[in-house]
Amino acid sequence: MTLTMRCVLTAKTRREYAQTLRGNALSREDAWQRAVELLFERLVVRWVVHEVETDGQRELLLRLRAATPDERRFVRDALRAHCAEWFPDVEAP
């Protein structure tokens, strides 16, 4: 599996992500899941699983929602590593 991600995260997206992660109106678990989806939507441009490429924001999000637990873990780990490298001020889920 491979993910191709952007190396830019706007200030507006950073604020939206921080608010989502705090989960004002959501349960902690719901807020965490939505925060993962938000980062995924804003950063991932291509996902290759078993040599099948998925790109396009809508298709990527649908693929994430249909992902297996192992695929979701891979995505979370990749998002954490990417944020640590490119956006150390962003608290990755």
Helices (H) and strands (E) in the chain, counts: 4, 3
Phi/psi region, residue 8 (left: phi>0; alpha: psi -120 to 50; beta: rest), is beta
pLDDT tens digit at each of 93 positions of the chain = 999 999 999 999 999 988 888 876 667 778 888 889 999 999 999 999 999 999 999 999 999 999 999 999 999 999 999 999 999 989 887
Domain range list for the chain: 2-86
The pTM for the full model equals 0.87
